[in-house]
Amino acid sequence: MARWLARIAIALVVALSIGAIVAYQQVSSVASEQLTDDVHVLFGFGSNVGVLATERGSVIVDTMTFRMQGEEIREQAERLTGQEVGVIVNTHYHLDHTHGNPAFPGGTRVVATKRTRELLDAFDAASWTGDAAKTLPNETFEGSYEIALGGKTVRAMHLGRGHTSGDLVALFVEDRVIHLGDLFFNGRYPNIDLEGGGSVQEWIGTLDRVLALDGYEKVIPGHGPVSDREGIRRFQAFLRELWTQTEAAARAGKSLDETLAAVRLTEDAGYEAMRVPFVLNLDRPFVIRRAWEEATGAVKPQGPAAQPGG
């Protein structure tokens, strides 16, 4: 019996060690794709990162999930552009888009919406103590904000609620590339942060405003491969179908279980679920539940002002 238990213990240690190695490889692996002469996108565990080269430093949009990823992003951005990172743009407050910030020097310009900074302070303050606090957003805005650096322009815009109440989009003007952050999940089921002021209903109109913008051809989503305007339209069609069916079920007084059984989505054909064990499952039942919670008022926005606006 003792020998048998020892073998089980060894097998468990080996399995855990292999799991830890695989997890480390996933977290530390960052791949790149070049979109234009001066724009690259980095892919890894967490958000897609936009990198814009200028003559006076680079601009990066989002920093993934861990400080070690931020360090890799910083190194790759400097290698790809030949310049140090001059500006960070955080599209919203979630950790998979912001927690790489502390890998950058304290005092680096960090741009975000005013609402994103409020949500960071309300929901994630414990992560931003000591030196990390020096890489919180220090240039915030409402409406729109232009970053002019080294002959390039990044136009950051808050176009409405969607994934959260603070999402911005970042247009690389001269390169005709736009980074939508988590306002666009390409081929993935989205997170819908009702507590952070997100809204399926209003997300649809926010994407109308994105589509009405001139000046971009390539689209960087928060998650999934690089796309274009048609990709945005496909994702918007999914959101519209999700809201239409779920809101109708809620209006008819259906329970959540009845709604899960009644909703028949087709616009999510080919969508991939995203799962973080013991934390979050982004799949079809998740998005239906979140839409039902919004439609019935079961979940209200939280935060300092407890308001959905941004």
Domain ranges in the chain? 31-296
Nearest to 72, CA basis, from 42, 33, 39, 112: 42
User: Which CATH architecture does the domain made up of 31-296 adopt?
Assistant: 4-Layer Sandwich (3.60)
Supply 2's token pair: 């003792």
Please list the pLDDT of the chain residue by residue as tens digits (310 residues): 444 433 343 333 322 222 222 233 345 589 999 999 999 999 999 999 999 999 999 999 999 999 999 999 999 999 999 999 999 999 999 999 999 999 999 999 999 999 999 999 999 999 999 999 999 999 999 999 999 999 999 999 999 999 999 999 999 999 999 999 999 999 999 999 999 999 999 999 999 999 999 999 999 999 999 999 999 999 999 999 999 999 999 999 999 999 999 999 999 999 999 987 778 899 999 999 999 999 999 998 986 554 544 3
Task: Give the total residue count for the chain.
Answer: 310
| pLDDT confidence of residue 246 | 98
Nearest to 61, CA basis, from 155, 141, 130, 196: 155
Which three-class secondary structure state does DSSP give residue 197? coil
| pLDDT confidence of residue 309 | 44
Our CA angle for 50, 53, 54, nearest 5°, is 135
Q: Please, are residues 141 and 135 in contact by the beta-carbon 8 Å criterion?
A: no
Say how far apart CA 12 and CA 152 lie, in whole Å.
53
CA dihedral 126, 129, 133, 137 (to 10 degrees): 10
- DSSP letter for 227, please: B
| Residue 5: partners with Cβ closer than 8 Å, 6 or more residues away | none
Say how far apart CA 191 and CA 181 lie, in whole Å.
12
Supply 163's token pair: 């994934």
Supply 206's token pair: 């926010």
